[in-house]
Amino acid sequence: MVLGSVLLVLPAKSYAEMGWVEKPVFCGTQKEVIEITKKYREVPLFSFNGHAMGPTGKPVPVRVVVAFNDTTKTWTLVEFPVGKDGKPSADVGCIIGNGKGLTKLLDIKSAI
């Protein structure tokens, strides 16, 4: 009986294992996603060019934007697929995270 109780609380898979996982994200058109950030009066603070895992398992180019409200300290992390022309797709954008608070970890003038 005790063993059965212990097995109920242990996860079937360890989340400490390294590898690609899926998580729910909110996606819409580029315009819809930008409107959500505007609703919170967040403006683009940083933009990063990079890659994300595509549906076929191959990396696809993306632009990741941090939208930030300096008054409320809210932020939204948005990912846009990038077309061959180097511009974000108007077809889709995804909110991959959001929250409140910003901590500066390093002075930009400092060497890493």
User: Is residue 67 within 8 Å of 74, Cβ to Cβ?
Assistant: no
> Between these two residues, 92 and 89, which has the higher pLDDT value?
92
Residue 90 has pLDDT above 60, yes or no: yes
Per-residue pLDDT of 41-63, as tens digits, reads: 999 999 999 999 887 888 999 99
Q: Could you give the residue ranges of the DSSP H alpha helices within the chain?
A: 2-9, 30-39
> How is 45-77 classified by DSSP, letter by letter?
EEEEEEEEE-TTSSEEEEEEEEEE-TTT-EEEE
Short-list 74, 61, 68, 65, CA closest to 96: 65
Look up the pTM and report it: 0.74
Residue reference for tokens 């063993």? 3
pLDDT at residue number 103: 84
- Domain extents in the chain: 22-100
Write down the mean pLDDT value for the chain: 83
DSSP conformational letter for 55: T
- As a whole number, mean pLDDT of residues 19-34 equals 89
